[in-house]
Amino acid sequence: MKKIILAACALAVSVTLVSPQAFADPAGELKYRQTTMKSVGGHMGSIVGILKQNTTNSANLQVHADGMVALAGISASLFPKGSNVGETTILPVVWEKPTEFAAAIKQFQDASMGLSMAAKTGDMAAVGAAVGNLGKSCKNCHENFREKKEKK
């Protein structure tokens, strides 16, 4: 009986020590990252629409700003090793220079938080400036960690 209990404990410990990424499907990770980043773009598009007064939904500004904060908060988890499979524009530099990539993620998170704080004030000029800062953080990642898009 002791052997069975010891074996069960050893199995339980070994399962908890294995990274969840070891079981992840790389194609599933890619799809998750892509759909999450589309959500980032969706929030950004809605925020810009509100700023340009293209919609009567300006009361939803805070919802979109907070959505950006939430997505920025999980963004580091969107890039597990081995998820650069299939049709992706991500560059290997994400994993080759993790310190630089982490700094870019932090810039995105800080800019998102700045946008949320500006939205709370209701000052649309401050929101516009915060959107500009957020756009710079997006551009930083796109220029340094993603393949360049060919101009059409």
**pLDDT tier at 144, thresholds 50, 70, 90:** very high
DSSP string, 107-142: HHHHHHHHHHHHHHHT-HHHHHHHHHHHHHHHHHHH
Query: Is residue 9 in a domain?
Result: no
> What value does the mean pLDDT take over residues 99-120?
98
Query: Is residue 55 in a domain?
Result: yes
Query: Is residue 64 in a domain?
Result: yes
Query: Is residue 11 in a domain?
Result: no
Which domain does 101 fall in, by range? 26-145
Give CA 108 to chain center in angstroms.
Answer: 8
Total tally of structural domains belonging to the chain? 1
Q: What is the pLDDT of residue 15?
A: 44
Q: How far is it, in rounded angstroms, from Cα 123 to Cα 102? A: 30
Q: Which residue, among 70, 66, 73, has the nearest Cα to 119 in the 3D structure? A: 66
Query: Is residue 12 in a domain?
Result: no
CATH number at residue 109: 1.20.120.10
**pLDDT tier at 90, thresholds 50, 70, 90:** very high
Give CA 41 to chain center in angstroms.
Answer: 11
pLDDT tens, position by position, 28-76: 999 999 999 999 999 999 999 999 999 999 999 999 999 999 999 999 9
